[in-house]
A = this chain, B = another copy of it.
């Protein structure tokens, strides 16, 4: 443990030297802080302040200290009774009751801390009284030149440095490893779910940012930061409303460089009402957002599942360079459903070439259907899939593999056979499979090939990849 810690730390300090060469922006400093204090550390292991402290003590490669009213150590760490005693702190994470927050932030300002995350809820989302608290907080920030993330937020998680300010226990959720997807979310709950799901699907995350009520640092600034962040390749964003005027301009710029996938909450009247008592934001006119997303090449998910489905594809697959899809299936009915969706979403089910048919008919049993869908039928084994796949990738832009592991002949060795072909061709391959046994899906996703539980969802993911290709190629840029 200590070794990993010091190794991580070494890497980390090196990285920070690089940062010092440039001039990290005030936003960047949240994610590059090496000296963090948690204010409001609790002895009760279920309480927010305890979980945050524990997450940092266990994983953070930088230094972490805690502030608490008592002096009894927590998790073997000595605590300060006042923020005034903590030296060289760059980032403060505040988890005290709402009414105490202004005083605490004032204290941070006095010792020169410039980045503060306020986890505590109980502000404008509860009405007038909370709004006043927020105004007070803002004044304090301006006075001391503090940038504040929150309140009413989970804060940030940077897997690369183990910098985890969320109050989500590692025992209860499966947090993702380091990778290229950034999660930006207005809602902590949705963020928590996204973390858990991406962790489970073996999708790596560069930065997780929950911004909550966003009284100071807002979504537009964070988007702009992620647009420049070298570790981030894909941006996933859940929001209910935005406040900044620069929003449209920033969105357009970032989308030119990186794939952005959004989900908007509060699309209807009822939803907007719910949103306002949630993070106290105005949800705005949904139709305007929709038009903007379309024009700027931002991919909009209809719902949470679609969002996750898209992320899985964008995080792992290259963009297809054309719209010719081959469906390789062992189940006729699934092939039919997948064909419907391909047609609906503008993907082309080109029939196999004469050459391909000749080649495969020599080695395949008579009863397989050499069309598109290419039906390898219910008695297909791993070898039959591999043989077909190897030929098919040569003349298609993307492949949907449908596999029923309920059938007697298909074994898990198909995973390695498919992965081998995929690693060579650099074309998108997605799997559709479903059933009570999850272990084979995990094997596929551990190899970097996403699995979808229905033909519809698998085809939608392919169509989204193609849509992005069309956007970037029409702009003369490749992502």
Contact = CB atoms under 8 A, between A and B. Distances in A.
Nearest to A265: B336
Interface in A234-277: 238, 240, 265-271, 273-275, 277
A405 B172 contact: yes
B278 A189 contact: no
Nearest to A48: B408
Nearest to A173: B406
Contact of A408 (B51, B343, B378, B436): B51
Contacts of A270: 339-340, 342-343, 349
30 contacts: A46-B408, A47-B408, A51-B408, A167-B408, A173-B406, A174-B436, A187-B333, A189-B330, A189-B333, A189-B378, A190-B337, A192-B404, A193-B404, A193-B406, A196-B436, A197-B434, A265-B337, A265-B340, A266-B340, A268-B343, A271-B337, A271-B340, A277-B369, A278-B333, A279-B332, A302-B456, A304-B434, A304-B454, A304-B455, A305-B454
Contacts of A188: 331-333, 378
A408 B189 contact: no
Nearest to A238: B333
A371 B377 CA distance: 53
Contacts of A378: 121, 188-189
A435 B371 CA distance: 39
A77 to B, nearest CB: 20
A172 B407 CA distance: 8
A457 B302 CA distance: 12
A126 interface: yes
Interface string A407-430: 111000000000000000000000
A335 interface: yes
A458 to B, nearest CB: 11
Interface centre among A167, A168, A371, A378 (most CB of B within 10 A): A378
A303 B452 CA distance: 13
B192 A406 contact: yes
Interface string A185-207: 11111101100110110000000
Interface residues of A, number: 82
B125 A274 contact: no
Interface centre among A173, A278, A343 (most CB of B within 10 A): A278
A30 to B, nearest CB: 21
A186 B278 contact: no
A343 B273 CA distance: 11
A4 B407 CA distance: 28
Given A51-B408, A277-B371, A435 B173 contact: yes
A321 interface: no
A17 interface: no
Given A122-B367, A192-B406, A266-B336, 19 more contacts: A51-B408, A125-B332, A167-B408, A168-B406, A172-B406, A187-B334, A193-B435, A196-B406, A196-B435, A197-B434, A240-B336, A269-B343, A271-B340, A273-B339, A274-B335, A274-B338, A278-B335, A304-B454, A304-B455
A453 interface: yes
A445 interface: no
A256 to B, nearest CB: 28
10 A-B pairs with least C-beta separation: A187-B333, A189-B331, A278-B332, A271-B340, A268-B343, A270-B343, A265-B336, A190-B333, A174-B436, A274-B339
A32 interface: no
A333 B367 CA distance: 51
Contacts of A274: 332, 335-336, 338-339, 371, 373
Interface in A4-19: none
Interface in A426-476: 434-437, 453-457
A269 B305 CA distance: 27
A169 interface: yes
A344 interface: yes
Interface in A324-381: 330-340, 342-344, 349, 367, 369, 371, 373, 375, 377-378
A304 B187 contact: no
A284 to B, nearest CB: 13
Nearest to A453: B305
Interface centre among A47, A186, A343 (most CB of B within 10 A): A343
A238 B334 CA distance: 11
Interface string A13-49: 0000000000000000000000000000000001110
